[in-house]
Amino acid sequence: MCASENTPRAPGGRAPEGYDKHAFEPFAVTVDLAVLTIRAGVLQVLLVERGQEPYAGRWALPGGFVLPHESAEAAARRELAEETGLADLTGLHLEQLRTYSEPDRDPRMRVVSVAYTALLPDPPEPHGGGDAAQAQWLRYNALGPLAFDHDRILADAHERVGAKLEYTCLATSFCPPEFTLGELQQVYETVWGTALDRPNFRRKVLATPGFVEQIPGAARLTGGRGKPAALYRAGGATTLHPPLLRPTSEGRP
Amino acid sequence: MCASENTPRAPGGRAPEGYDKHAFEPFAVTVDLAVLTIRAGVLQVLLVERGQEPYAGRWALPGGFVLPHESAEAAARRELAEETGLADLTGLHLEQLRTYSEPDRDPRMRVVSVAYTALLPDPPEPHGGGDAAQAQWLRYNALGPLAFDHDRILADAHERVGAKLEYTCLATSFCPPEFTLGELQQVYETVWGTALDRPNFRRKVLATPGFVEQIPGAARLTGGRGKPAALYRAGGATTLHPPLLRPTSEGRP
DNA sequence: TCAAAAGTGTTAGGTGTACACCCATGT
DNA sequence: ACATGGGTGTACACCTAACACTTTTGA
């Protein structure tokens, strides 16, 4: 609820009379970013190395404080720009994941963090913008334990992205403006960790109106060899009907 | 992120040296509850009437402040118990929806709210517990505009619940411990607002292992007339494979 | 005997899966 | 030629939707 007169229990059981902004222990509100990309068929995550305690030397998700006059989403967008050095975040998919609020998740103070998932096409080299600590792409597999509860946040992000690939057109967010169906399929295979049947994948994608649209006449050689692949753009649709379910989707209770 | 040394921009651009807890404008962190139930085939929402400005006289979602030493989920559970007067929240489905953080969503101060969706079986009469304002069940349709951004929160909750009915066993959370398949179907029909084919619904549910399990020998008359319906319990499964898609699921871009 | 609600059967058409096959290109 | 990756065809199992039909109760 918003600050209301109903059950207006400020810490200590007193009502926040007149909404004295400093009458109770403040919460810090931050954003955490799970930024994913696919480079060379490998799922990669943007991480920063911590220099101080706690968790000094560990990798952590990028993020930062939400400023007084911005929304959490605006904060996420700002932090992402600072961390990657990217000026234009066009083609970026940014989506709220969930909020993590365990009282002891940061040993120093009470921090409530709104986590966001961002998907980037191609790998913009993470040039640390100015004062920010250098951010780096690391393979999603082969990560030691991260700082704070960031392991869990990252796992939640991965799970969410995997699920949304099934029933949305999200996969194109991993792809550059022009891509082949093979590249699109590789997104699914990389995130899901399973191989897909190429002919069936192709039919499924093309049968979904608005998922992709072909760029007439364009083609590109992919592996140096083989038939040049037709190029596609992301279409206008956002949802998949019917969904593109992962194989062996049975038995995941 | 947690409060870290990376981009540690406290309001005003200064780093929060030593994490002075009062060095910056505090955020209030609250929870909002979208509590849904189905009574007599009608979707109902638990709401409280506001007595003070802003939005005096309007209906609002129940909720309250997150206390310093509890998680947002614990706060949601506590507020729900206070608001409904229910001591045992067994059989309750409580799930984080998303976080709303627009800077101007509460005109009095900066309030970041973590919204939760709760589903209750049957209608526990909302006996206002002690000091809390009286909460009431209102029909989901036929709601005037709510206070704050609660219209949007409620719409998001409805959308989320509708979507989760498709691929999870969530529907049993609307039902009492023992229910008929007709009642279960009514949950789907009420939330989705569409009629379903009874024979096919029945087969679908029974073919999903762990969705429901029959109580041997038990039966109940439902409409005063007609054949008594067999009774079922919720099973152990949580996900539906394959999903139970809403009809006319096409063309929802 | 009829209406109402539960429950069963049947069938036509669509969807997903698996796999065989052809096409274009570089080496 | 042959390997490599793109693209097409096809057959079969399965699922779904639609609807006819039977069963059990109260009025």
Residues of B in Cβ contact (< 8 Å) with A111: 2-3
Yes or no, beta carbons of B103 and A147 under 8 Å apart: no
Interhelix angle for A181-192 vs A150-167, to 10°? 140
CATH topology of domain B26-164: Nucleoside Triphosphate Pyrophosphohydrolase (3.90.79)
Q: From the Cβ of B219, is strand C under 7 Å away?
A: yes
For tokens 């029933």, the residue is A167
Mutate to test the interface with A, among B99, B153, B165, B252 (most CBs of A within 10 A): B99
> Nearest by CB to A99, which of B25, B99, B109?
B99
Burial letters B168-187, b for 16+ CB under 10 A, else e:
bbbbbbbbeeebbbebbbbb
Interhelix angle for B150-167 vs B181-192, to 10°? 140
Confidence at residue B63, expressed as pLDDT on a 0 to 100 scale: 96
Mutate to test the interface with A, among B7, B69, B249 (most CBs of A within 10 A): B7
Residue of A nearest to B82 (CA): A7
Residue range(s) occupied by CATH 3.90.79.10 in chain B: 26-164
Smallest Cα–C1' distance to nucleotide D24: which residue has it?
B227
- pLDDT tens figures, A175-196: 999 999 999 999 999 999 999 9
Phi/psi-derived region of residue A241, left when phi > 0, alpha when psi is between -120 and 50, beta in every other case: beta
Q: What is the CA radius of gyration of chain A?
A: 21
Residues of B in Cβ contact (< 8 Å) with A234: none
Whole-angstrom distance, CA of residue B37 vs CA of residue B181: 17
DSSP conformation letters of B127-188: ---TTSPPEEEEESSS--PPSTTHHHHHHHHHHHHHHHHHHBSGGGGGS-SSEEHHHHHHHH
CATH topology of domain B168-234: Arc Repressor Mutant, subunit A (1.10.10)
pLDDT in tens, chain B (253 residues): 565 544 333 333 333 334 444 445 679 999 999 999 999 899 999 999 999 989 999 999 999 999 999 999 999 999 999 888 777 777 799 999 999 999 999 999 999 999 999 999 976 666 655 555 678 999 999 898 999 999 999 999 999 999 999 999 999 999 999 999 999 999 999 999 999 999 999 999 999 999 999 999 888 888 778 899 999 999 999 998 888 998 864 433 3
Look at strands B135-139 and B42-49 and give their pairing: antiparallel
Yes or no, beta carbons of B6 and A132 under 8 Å apart: yes
DSSP conformation letters of chain B: --S-SSS---TTS---GGG-TTSSPPBEEEEEEEEEEEETTEEEEEEEE--SSSSTT-EE--EEEPPTTS-HHHHHHHHHHHHH--S--TT-EEEEEEEE--TTSSSSS-EEEEEEEEE-SS-------TTSPPEEEEESSS--PPSTTHHHHHHHHHHHHHHHHHHBSGGGGGS-SSEEHHHHHHHHHHHHTS---HHHHHHHHHHSTTSEEEEEEEEE-SSSSSPPEEEEEE-S--B-SS--PPTT-SS--
Q: CA A189 → C1' D2, Å? A: 28
Q: From the Cβ of B136, is strand C under 7 Å away?
A: no
Nucleotide with smallest C1' distance to residue A180 CA: D6
- Residue A45 is given by DSSP the state E
pLDDT in tens, chain A (253 residues): 565 544 333 333 333 334 444 445 678 999 999 999 999 899 999 999 999 889 999 999 999 999 999 999 999 999 999 888 777 777 789 999 999 999 999 999 999 999 999 999 976 666 655 555 678 999 999 898 999 999 999 999 999 999 999 999 999 999 999 999 999 999 999 999 999 999 999 999 999 999 999 999 888 888 778 899 999 999 999 998 888 998 864 433 3
Q: CA A150 → C1' C14, Å? A: 44
Min Cα distance B247 → chain A (Å) is 11
Confidence at residue B137, expressed as pLDDT on a 0 to 100 scale: 92
Residue of A nearest to B52 (CA): A5
Q: Could you tell me the two tokens for B108?
A: 């009095």
Q: From the Cβ of B187, is strand C under 7 Å away?
A: no
H helix runs in A32-96, sequence order = 72-84
- In three-state secondary structure terms, A239 is strand
Residue range(s) occupied by CATH 1.10.10.10 in chain B: 168-234
Q: Please give the class, per CATH, of domain A27-150.
A: alpha beta
Confidence at residue A16, expressed as pLDDT on a 0 to 100 scale: 38
Confidence at residue B13, expressed as pLDDT on a 0 to 100 scale: 31
Q: CA B206 → C1' D8, Å? A: 39
Min Cα distance A119 → chain B (Å) is 18
The residues that bridge with A213 in the sheet, in sequence order, are: A233
Yes or no, beta carbons of B62 and A6 under 8 Å apart: yes
Nucleotides of D under 7 A from a protein CB: 3-10, 15-20, 23-27
Yes or no, beta carbons of A99 and B114 under 8 Å apart: yes
The residues that bridge with B88 in the sheet, in sequence order, are: none
Q: From the Cβ of A241, is strand C under 7 Å away?
A: no
Smallest Cα–C1' distance to nucleotide C7: which residue has it?
B199
Residue range(s) occupied by CATH 3.90.79.10 in chain A: 27-150
Residue of A nearest to B211 (CA): A253
CATH architecture for the domain at A167-234: Orthogonal Bundle (1.10)
Q: Strand D and chain B: which residues 169-208 have CB closer than 7 Å?
A: 197, 199-200, 204, 207
Query: Residue A61 burial by CB count (10 A; 0-12/13-18/19+): exposed, middle or buried?
Result: buried
